[in-house]
Amino acid sequence: MIINPVMPKPCKIIDIIRENKNEYTFRVESDITPEHGQFLQLSIPKVGEAPISASGFGDGYLDFTIRSVGKVTNEMFALKPGDMLFLRGAYGVGWPIEEISGKHLVVITGGTGLAPVKSLLSKCLNEPEFVKSVFIISGFKNEDGILFKNDLESYKKNFKTVYSLDIDKIDGWEVGFVTEHVNKIPIKDYEDNYAILVVGPPVMMKFTALECLKNGAKEENIWVSFERKMSCAIGKCGHCRIDEVYVCLDGPVFNYKQAKDLVD
């Protein structure tokens, strides 16, 4: 029997969690177990398809945190528990688990960039021996854009954290871009035994990585995750191609030594 590699499978929505005004987390029934940082293609028949990283997964379910930004995601926001969402995947290269294991882990995220690394942070919470320590810098535009509030509180209790808002001032939060807080990471204390993961808009990742280098980090110890409009997700259509690299196959996670030269 020939299996169509791009045929989506209907999966029932178990729950929908409103994270903030524009972002919801959809929990769907699925036996797919992605790697941390991989993405799936989510679709609605006759409407369209969108690549979304799994923000969490467990026995029989997958979580997707989705921002309403276009035709497909707007239609998804009209769905309710019990409705079907169509999935295919998982695709791409996830976070380098072997490279991270046993090291000091630094995670720097901007806005919805927290979603693609959330499942890995859950692993760090549930398996304290997985890494030596965790340092999180997470920023959002304003208070209305904060994601995963309960998880952020849990991270704060178990990890070293710096939370920042671009413009708003609230108790317990810094003000300013995440780049302004990179100098708080004790890179020298890690003695080259560390991994830095950066996720967010392209401009944020570019300047955050540069700040990490100024702070003493090595290029080979930094990874980034590209958010692009993957279409076929199997390297055939070329929509996500940058130079000779197909983000859907070679990414979305890249080591910075390679990522720094990937320019549209």
Express each pLDDT in 34-83 by its tens digit: 999 999 999 998 898 889 999 999 999 999 998 877 788 888 989 999 99
- Structural domain boundaries, residue 114: 97-259
Q: What is the pLDDT of residues 225-239, one digit of tens each?
A: 987 677 888 888 888
- pTM of this structure: 0.93
110 and 228: one domain? yes
Question: pLDDT band at residue 116, thresholds of 50, 70 and 90?
Answer: very high
CATH of the domain at 75: 2.40.30.10
Q: At what angle do helices 115-126 and 149-158 cross, to 10 degrees?
A: 40
**In the listed set 74, 91, 108, which residue is the last one of a domain according to the structure?**
91
Residue 32 has pLDDT above 60, yes or no: yes
42 and 123: one domain? no
125 and 198: one domain? yes
74 and 103: one domain? no
**In the listed set 91, 114, 144, which residue is the last one of a domain according to the structure?**
91
The reply to whether 1 falls in a domain is no
109 and 234: one domain? yes
159 and 47: one domain? no
**Sign for the pseudo-dihedral over CA of 101, 27, 156, 108:** positive
The reply to whether 2 falls in a domain is no
Mean pLDDT over residues 166-170, rounded? 86
Q: What angle do CA 117, 119, 125 make, to 5 degrees?
A: 105
Mean pLDDT over residues 244-252, rounded? 86
Round to whole Å and give the CA distance between 178 and 155: 17
Q: What is the pLDDT of residues 190-219, one digit of tens each?
A: 999 999 999 999 899 999 999 999 999 999
**In the listed set 40, 67, 91, which residue is the last one of a domain according to the structure?**
91
pLDDT at 264: 57
The reply to whether 264 falls in a domain is no
Q: What is the pLDDT of residues 123-151, one digit of tens each?
A: 999 999 999 999 999 999 999 999 999 99
162 and 245: one domain? yes
75 and 170: one domain? no
Mean pLDDT over residues 107-126, rounded? 95
Residue 2 has pLDDT above 70, yes or no: no
The reply to whether 4 falls in a domain is no
78 and 152: one domain? no
Check: CB of residue 166 under 8 Å from CB of residue 140.
yes
225: nearest Cα among 34, 44, 36, 18: 36
DSSP 258: H
59 and 101: one domain? no
The reply to whether 217 falls in a domain is yes
Q: Which one is predicted more confidently, 98 or 2?
A: 98
Whole-number average pLDDT of the chain: 91
Round to whole Å and give the CA distance between 138 and 159: 12
Residue 187 has pLDDT above 70, yes or no: yes
**Strand 194-199 and strand 104-110: pairing?**
parallel
Number of domains in the chain: 2
pLDDT at 1: 53
Question: pLDDT band at residue 262, thresholds of 50, 70 and 90?
Answer: confident
The reply to whether 141 falls in a domain is yes
176 and 67: one domain? no
41 and 101: one domain? no
The reply to whether 57 falls in a domain is yes
